[in-house]
Structure 1
């Protein structure tokens, strides 16, 4: 009787904890939705192909997405200038869904991630005094990193609780950016990629990969997977493609996942897959021209150097993302005839927007 009573108490505590957490992660959703609605009305929020260029902003963003021939386009993106109503802060991200429900998982991540990030960032700010926020030693990156870590964990939990979207065999990768002044903070979960276009001493433009493509065969990733009881295997019909499987038996049947980090995909969450982001920072200089965020539909067939060349050679900035996506689409047909073309999305964020400075001068 004592054991059964303890068992019931444990269940009660577990249910109560989950309910409290669920209420907590929904905190501030309505306020964020209101801010997003206002931003969209003012042309500061973009989730469909187009561009964002706010008056007085040094940012110019071009974004484009094109579905492959596998079915529904599972890619999506978001661009939010004056993120959360804070002037001088921009949030961008690309999201690549996969699996039978991947299009819904990717859209869900895109929808809730800004709200959670804004909530946790405001929560972190509240822990500092006004004076400390103005202090030159204030850890601006540390606050964003902490906020991103909490956000990605909460997004994954949100998917697990969702009453309609089935994320067991479906998931999403994402790479997102916060720009605040000259600080660029990147959070990467999966194999979407961020590449910087910057100039050298001789004036030539070069590509610098900022993020890591998290694949299961990376040494630090495979070590974690094996420690969790999973395995990393290649199948005969996919040479060179490593996948996580939910067993140490390399001959095990069933689906595998070609990512070592992703939202959702709960069939391998207990076998080494994590949704923890790799959060890094870089300082934008006068030499840095733009950063490209794109799904693997671009990077599987286009090199970093070629992508930077295409974006930089666009006659108009608003054409840059479409030119890159169209080029990648053609490369899929040339390089992989007979294979399905992947969904392809790109966001090009230009740092030094000359048109905004000219606008300010004309005003």
Structure 2
């Protein structure tokens, strides 16, 4: 059995209180905000363009975001090295808001998701622990990925509940996609809600750099997503002025009116939450090897105009400003490939696994 981090000291007492789940979560958020403040002061928490490279870490991260031509930039990013006070854990994410309040929804999810994730991770760790001589130890069949997956699922559900009850932010016709990642040692856990995408840059047998798409773009026309939507009473359709763009609608009529949503998973957007839209993340894992060089997290403003292979090529060419270079290239491609259309917001986080 392996001893836990001191981060969990005294947590069993907190877990056994009768103040209810909401109070425990609020206490967890307060603790996380304190950790975040300290991390920001030490240059380990980034929520705007920049880089993070802790001297004790194997990670190097480059992040950048640029607004399109649709108004205020509704994208945002986060990078947190030493997540939750643990030096071997990193949390990253890109958030792509949409709708009239999308910029506020994205920022809200970016703010509360780390706190909820850390809270449920602590709960899961305690539930899988043994108390011995006042110390917490992992049990013999401890499942590292299982703990993170359970924590992500609970955190995302709570984030959506937080939005639904928010007294100021109106998320009925607004929402956000969110793609987040945890790196703990050699384990990489990705949780995807929406159509942002993670692409791995790794080395093949012949030594060449190749792109491997890790996540699914959750669009309403995917067979498994469409089936769920129909079973929930919703519909999936394309309008004549948007060929190739499938949207969830809250009606099964042949000529549905009202707004539709071009995502099958998102936070917020409660006008279609009863018609097949879910905020449940697809949670996957990958063990990082010496062949894996970096992973790119990017909103669909990149992938609508840039291939996986080209993105990996750009990021591999210049590590320090890799995110900015990819964003600038995507912005130029919008002008070239989508002439006459308003460019989308573009955000990128590049996580390199082996710092120099």
Q: TM-score, normalised by structure 2?
A: 0.92
Secondary structure of the corresponding residue to residue 54 of structure 2: coil
Task: Tell me what 1:250 maps to.
Answer: 254
User: How do residues 320-359 of structure 1 correspond to structure 2 at under 5 angstroms?
Assistant: 320-354=322-356
Task: Tell me what 1:287 maps to.
Answer: 291
Q: How many angstroms does 1:155 deviate by? A: 0.1
Secondary structure of the corresponding residue to residue 264 of structure 2: coil
User: How do residues 82-231 of structure 1 correspond to structure 2 at under 5 angstroms?
Assistant: 82-129=82-129, 134=138, 137-231=141-235
Q: Distance in 2 between matches of 1:26 and 1:233?
A: 41
Task: Tell me what 1:15 maps to.
Answer: none
- Range with bigger deviation, 131-140 or 153-162: 131-140
Task: Tell me what 1:360 maps to.
Answer: none
| Structure 1: runs of 5 or more not aligned | 1-18, 355-363
| Structure 2: runs of 5 or more not aligned | 1-18
More helix by share: 1
Q: Distance in 2 between matches of 1:250 and 1:257?
A: 17
CA contact 1:25–1:154 (8 Å) conserved in 2: no
Q: Distance in 2 between matches of 1:209 and 1:137?
A: 31
Task: Tell me what 1:80 maps to.
Answer: 80
Q: Write out per-residue CA displacement over residues 101-152 of structure 1, whole angstroms, 9 at most, x where no aligned residue.
A: 0000000000000000000000111112258955674200000000000000
Q: Write out per-residue CA displacement over residues 16-73 of structure 1, whole angstroms, 9 at most, x where no aligned residue.
A: xxx9664454231111101000000000000010000001210000000000111110
- RMSD (Å), alpha carbons: 1.4
Secondary structure of the corresponding residue to residue 324 of structure 1: helix
Q: Distance in 2 between matches of 1:251 and 1:170?
A: 23
Q: TM-score, normalised by structure 1?
A: 0.90
Q: Write out per-residue CA displacement over residues 179-220 of structure 1, whole angstroms, 9 at most, x where no aligned residue.
A: 000000000000010000000011100000000000000000
Q: Distance in 1 between matches of 2:95 and 2:330?
A: 17
TM superposition outliers: structure 1 runs of 4+ over 6 Å: none
How many residues end up aligned between the 2 structures? Answer: 334
Secondary structure of the corresponding residue to residue 278 of structure 2: coil
Task: Tell me what 1:71 maps to.
Answer: 71
Q: Distance in 2 between matches of 1:59 and 1:352?
A: 6
Secondary structure of the corresponding residue to residue 321 of structure 1: helix
Secondary structure of the corresponding residue to residue 166 of structure 1: coil
